[in-house]
Structure 1
Amino acid sequence: MQYKLLGNTGLRVSELCLGAMTFGEDWDWGANRETSQAIFDAFAEAGGNFIDTANVYTNGTSEKLLGEFVGAERDRFVIATKYTVMMNPTDPNSSGNQRKNLMRSLDASLKRLNTDYIDLYWVHMWDTVTPVEEMMRALDDVVRTGKVMYVGISDAPAWIVSRAQTIADLRNMTPFAAIQLEYNLVERTVERDLLPMAEDLNLSILNWSPLGGGVLTGKYLHQDSDQDRLNKAEYFQHYKVDRAMQIAQTVVDVAHEIGCSAAQVALAWIRQQSPRHIPIIGARTLEHLKDNLGCLQVALSEEQFIRLNAASEVDPGFALTFLRRLQNLFLGAANETLDLSLHPVSRWVLDRK
């Protein structure tokens, strides 16, 4: 396992992040305590130090188990957890980005994790109503108290993240170090704005569902009943099944060529997009985790990378399509000779394939 700096900070995090949403059986599909411990231990033995959870995961059991597993080695690990999602249906202030929910959620997470600080505290999702200024001030306050080291935001539009970063910069508040979003070969629409934004703002990118909920492992191929289940599942309604199956088949074909698993190919594709990407690997069995860790040994050839891109490409939409078509007008004679390697945003806008 190699390590990366988290966004524009000096914090070292492993190049893969362990997702702990599967820790606990409260939701009827997670791993029991023994299996969760084995998954955690295997990740740590591989050099992983970055673990992601949330207060709501398995009704708080995920945080409790993670706190037990970390134990006396707390300072060795970078623990990320989240607030926002409703914890008490009878309390209207038990959800949202506002100060009260943040403060109460943080204290509860610290207790469950049995720690006195959180390394990375996530806004779990934009609640659409809390003023951005209130959210950023409250996050800055908990950093200044020492209860939180760094902050990030998950599942929010690019304009909200950009506005929040601008406010933090102008008012000397703690900025976001990372964003978390869905990104995989089936879901690439974040390339239109969120990924170029992350490059420009020097944010790390944590990728949830890097295997498309299992679609990219190839397990749904040629199984009509599973495809029907995929088509009807609320979580996957934004996936077009026929397109998803075609992409999955391409992933499987590349995996056969390399001699590795389809999951390893899907993870390697994300890792080769940009050094900013840190896939969140979640597993319900030790075997799944070990297979995912194998992606660290997989390197896609240029031809394979291009083929996967072509099979999964999305329409960048306006204004990116417009700018790419007319780049000669604003770059002029420099267009053919300009080296964009040191300009990541320009690469995303003008040279994305």
Structure 2
Amino acid sequence: MQYTQLGTTGLKVSRLCLGCMTYGEPSRGKHAWTLPEESSRPLIKQAVDAGINFFDTANSYSDGSSEEIVGKVLREFLPRDQFVLATKVFFPLSNLKGGLSRASILQSIDDSLNRLGTDYVDLLQIHRWDYETPIEETLEALNEVVTAGKARFIGASSMHASQFKQALDLQKLHGFAPFVSMQDQYNLIQREEEKEMHPLCLEKNIAVLPWSPLARGRLTRPWGETTARSVSDEVIPALYGETEEADAKIAERVAKIAEDHSVPRAQIALAWILSKPAVTAPIIGASRAGHLEDAIAALDIRLSIEEIAELEMAYVPHQATGFK
């Protein structure tokens, strides 16, 4: 496993972060494709054994059961100081209205810590921008969470670069704990973050943690082929439904270069994203052992300048999605 520093913090994280949306009770929340504890356990153990020490979940995943499973399993396999644990706040739960008001943030972190079975998280991220709560209130509450020792650092996710800069400027002005990371949608068929967000993060030395690095699996299989998750995942059409023709051309190039390297397509798509200087650690999902094996193998693939150019050639501007 390869490791790197998380932005300006002293946290040393694996270059792959295990995204834990996959792990949660299917009967809770909106995702029928998630894996219950008995199916999640061996995959989390596989990640630990491979040297992954960075795990990302959210309070809203499977109505809190993702946090319950991830916290329980990690405690069995690793001492608390040997893994970096991230969670998020914004979306509603059955017992929480949601949003980023002071009341919501303070209740959310206490509930998350209880579900995770820990005294602190390493990274608390705001899952989306809250248009109904003054950003100053949100930032002050997050600072309070850090001051109380309930989160070591705070991060953000899925917002416009102008919003992120506004928040960073206000944190500096008021002496609040700053955002140290940005978790954004970034992959070969959605590269809009290269225009403003990634330059901003490079300038400020903020860690970029891309979600959906394989475009919800669309870069890992023949175009048009479906899986149980792709059929039931209601988010996919919103993210990629408007750009099928252009995206298919990119997927064809992924397939060609994968064949040239004699590796699965997922390894090429991940190798591309790992080659980007702004990227600290992509958030990878794994519902099968092979998903983790491909992700780990991608760390050793070096794409040539010509291969990167070929992968990027067919890209056309996309509507920025995933902000709400």
The one of 129, 133, 137 aligned to 1:130: 133
In structure 1, how many angstroms separate the alpha carbons of the residues matched to 2:93 and 2:134?
Answer: 21
Residue type matched to 2:223 in 1? Y
> Are the equivalent residues in 2 in contact too, given 1:188–1:313 (CA < 8 A)?
no
**Residue 9 of structure 1: SS of its match in structure 2?**
coil
Q: Which residue of 2 aligns with 1:61?
A: 65
- Normalising by structure 1, report the TM-score: 0.83
Root-mean-square deviation (Å)? 2.3
Q: Which residue of 1 aligns with 2:304?
A: 301
Q: Which residue of 2 aligns with 1:48?
A: 52
In structure 2, how many angstroms separate the alpha carbons of the residues matched to 1:307 and 1:138?
Answer: 46
Structure 1 residue 228: Cα displacement: 10
In structure 1, how many angstroms separate the alpha carbons of the residues matched to 2:131 and 2:298?
Answer: 37
> Are the equivalent residues in 2 in contact too, given 1:203–1:276 (CA < 8 A)?
no
In structure 1, how many angstroms separate the alpha carbons of the residues matched to 2:192 and 2:85?
Answer: 28
Higher gyration radius (CA): 1
Q: Which has the higher contact order (CA 8 A, sep 6+)?
A: 2
Residue type matched to 2:8 in 1? N
Gaps of 5+ in 2: 320-324
Q: Which residue of 2 aligns with 1:36?
A: 40
Q: Which residue of 2 aligns with 1:145?
A: 148
Q: Which residue of 2 aligns with 1:310?
A: 313
Identity value in percent: 37
Bigger share in helix = 1
In structure 2, how many angstroms separate the alpha carbons of the residues matched to 1:78 and 1:37?
Answer: 18
- Structure 1 residues 230 and 306, CA, compared in 2 at 3 Å: closer, same or farther? farther
> Are the equivalent residues in 1 in contact too, given 2:208–2:278 (CA < 8 A)?
no
Q: Which residue of 1 aligns with 2:6?
A: 6
Aligned pair 1:23/2:26, yes or no? no
> Are the equivalent residues in 2 in contact too, given 1:270–1:277 (CA < 8 A)?
no
- Normalising by structure 2, report the TM-score: 0.90
Residue type matched to 1:85 in 2? F
Structure 1 residue 75: Cα displacement: 1.6
Q: Which residue of 2 aligns with 1:267?
A: 270
The one of 201, 209, 214 aligned to 1:211: 214
The one of 81, 85, 88 aligned to 1:82: 88
In structure 1, how many angstroms separate the alpha carbons of the residues matched to 2:289 and 2:21?
Answer: 15
- Structure 1 residues 314 and 236, CA, compared in 2 at 3 Å: closer, same or farther? closer
In structure 2, how many angstroms separate the alpha carbons of the residues matched to 1:64 and 1:5?
Answer: 27
The one of 159, 171, 174 aligned to 1:171: 174
Q: Which residue of 1 aligns with 2:322?
A: none
Gaps of 5+ in 1: 317-353
Structure 1 residue 32: Cα displacement: 2.9
- Structure 1 residues 308 and 71, CA, compared in 2 at 3 Å: closer, same or farther? same
- Structure 1 residues 44 and 275, CA, compared in 2 at 3 Å: closer, same or farther? farther
Residue type matched to 2:314 in 1? A
**Superposed counterparts of 1:173-322, under 5 Å:** 173-221=176-224, 234-274=237-277, 276-312=279-315, 314=317
